[in-house]
Structures are given as C-alpha cells and as structure tokens.
C-alpha cells in the first residue's frame, strides 16, 4: 500500500481511524482504503451516514456563527478531526478576523494534517490531546498561549461524545472543562442517538458493530442522557433538537430523513 506524502510517519494506514472515516463521509480526500472500506461496510446498514455527518457539521457552523454573534472570539474545538471546508476558524473569522481557535484531537493524522493546513496562522493552533483527559487539554501549550480562560470561550464537542464510553466517565470530563471556563462561555455539542433515525434500531446496530470492530465503539445515548452533558449550562433556544432544527438558515422539509438523527444543542454557562 502506497503511503501518501501527507500521511505522518509511524501511523499504520491499514488500521481504520474514526477521524478519517468522518473525512470520507464529508467528501474529503484524507482517508485510506482501510477507512473507506469500514465506511462502506457501515453504510450497508445505514446508507445515510454521510447525511448524518453533514447535518451535524452544518449545525456546528450555524452554532459557531451564533457564538460569534454573541461576541465570543475564542473557540476550543475538541475532537475536531481532519480539517474540511467550513472549519471553525473560517466561520468565526467571518464575524471577527481576530477570533482565536484551538483544535484538539488525539488522532495523529488529524493533528498532523490540521497543523499543515493552519501553518502560518498565528491565531489558530492544534493540540494533540484526548477528551478523556481534560487536564491535558487545559494545560496544553496551545490552549494556555492562545486562549484566555478568564473570558468566555465556545467549547465545541461535536460528534465526539458518543465515542467516549461510560467507563471513561464522559460526564466528568465535560464537567471538568465547564468548570475551567468563564461565565458566559458556550457549550456547542451534538451526539448520536437512535432517536430520529429513519431505520430500525436493529439495522442501525449493524453500522455500530463496524465501529466496535475497529475498536472505536459508538455509544448511543437517549435524549435525557445527552441533556445531562449540559448540566451547569442554560440551554439556548430552541434547546436540544435534531441537528437541522437548531436555528435553521432555511426550510428543513427538504432535508434528508437521516439528517434528523441524533441531537444538537448550545448551552450558556451562568
């Protein structure tokens, strides 16, 4: 298997990665055959998986736009993945060219590629860290040098929480990050769920098994379980909803049924 020039040394390109599978769903080019194979296998059960990812990403862009409109100029995107068109820094800087963004991921390809994309951008940085270890994120050189945690920050946890198993206590991790943020900070989050899916749970489980097989299990949570991540935040109207229904920029009746899978919402820290 030929190793492309952009692939960091030391990574096994025969092992699928969640970040690169996500990149494939979004139509990106930073994925390997192993990733495409896993993605296609999951799509046998849920052909609309790319639509789900695109809907969550579109929500993210609208939420960043909202945050910028609220005067927030600092963004911490945890589980940011491989840069695709319409990244946080691009959306935020439409509102404020001085917006600062730190991307965080633990996938070496996502980190290496993000750094290449952001080279020469003094107001953006990429930290190699894991959501399971919030302290590593908060004390990273990138966060401490670029963000002022004494002022409001928009914390993004988009399509990442469902990769943290209950045994790793994602609620503790999210609470630890919340406690480090100033009042007025926002939590922008989305999460996979059986709710809203246009296929039976049993069929969806076929796709979930693919992720389990590549040792990146997806944890489907209920609405109440997703709402619990917003503890300590006041939910911004319209609350926790299907991604297309969060402050849509146009009519949603034309949306693909798969787009309504899962939940998305924004909360403000009191």
Give the CATH number, domain containing residue 178.
Answer: 3.40.50.150
Identify whether 12 is part of a domain: no
Q: How much of the chain exceeds pLDDT 70, in percent?
A: 99
For 94, other C-beta atoms within 10 Å of its C-beta total: 12
For 183, other C-beta atoms within 10 Å of its C-beta total: 9
| Structural domain that includes position 198 | 18-269
Burial class (CB in 10 A: 0-12, 13-18, 19+), 133: middle
Mean pLDDT of 54-69: 97
Q: How many structural domains comprise the chain?
A: 1
Q: What is the pLDDT of residues 87-134, one digit of tens each?
A: 999 999 999 999 999 999 998 888 988 998 899 999 999 999 999 999
Mean pLDDT of 160-172: 97
Mean pLDDT of 172-193: 98
Residues facing 183 on adjacent strands: none
**Cα 218 to chain centroid, rounded:** 14
- Ranges 188-197, 226-235, 240-249, 250-259: which has the least confidence: 250-259
Distance CA 72, CA 58 (A): 19
Global confidence as pTM: 0.95
Identify whether 8 is part of a domain: no
Of 63 and 17, the one with more pLDDT: 63
Identify whether 47 is part of a domain: yes
């Amino acid at each position: 298997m030929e190793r492309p020039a952009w692939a960091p040394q030391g990574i096994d390109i025969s092992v699928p990665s969640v970040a690169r599978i996500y990149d494939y769903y979004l139509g990106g080019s930073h994925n390997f055959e192993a990733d495409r194979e896993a993605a296609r296998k999951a799509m046998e059960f849920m052909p609309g998986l790319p639509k789900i990812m695109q809907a969550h990403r579109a929500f993210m862009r609208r939420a960043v736009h909202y945050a910028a409109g609220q005067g927030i100029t600092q963004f911490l995107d945890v589980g940011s993945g491989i840069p695709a068109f319409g990244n946080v820094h691009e959306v935020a800087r439409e509102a404020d060219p001085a917006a600062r963004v730190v991307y965080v991921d633990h996938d070496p390809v996502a980190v290496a590629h993000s750094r290449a994309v952001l080279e020469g951008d003094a107001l953006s940085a990429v930290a190699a860290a894991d959501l399971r270890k919030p302290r590593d994120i908060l004390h990273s050189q990138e966060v401490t040098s670029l963000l002022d945690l004494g002022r409001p920050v928009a914390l993004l946890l988009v399509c990442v929480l469902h990769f943290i198993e209950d045994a790793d206590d994602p609620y503790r991790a999210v609470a630890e990050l919340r406690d480090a943020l100033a009042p007025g900070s926002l939590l922008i989050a989305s999460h996979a769920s059986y709710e809203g899916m246009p296929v039976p749970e049993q069929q969806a489980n076929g796709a979930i098994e693919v992720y389990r097989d590549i040792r990146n299990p997806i944890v489907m949570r209920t609405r109440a379980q997703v709402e619990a991540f917003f503890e300590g935040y006041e939910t911004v109207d319209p609350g926790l909803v299907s991604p297309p229904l969060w402050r849509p920029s146009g009519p949603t009746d034309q949306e693909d049924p798969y787009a309504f899978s899962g939940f998305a919402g924004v909360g403000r820290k009191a």
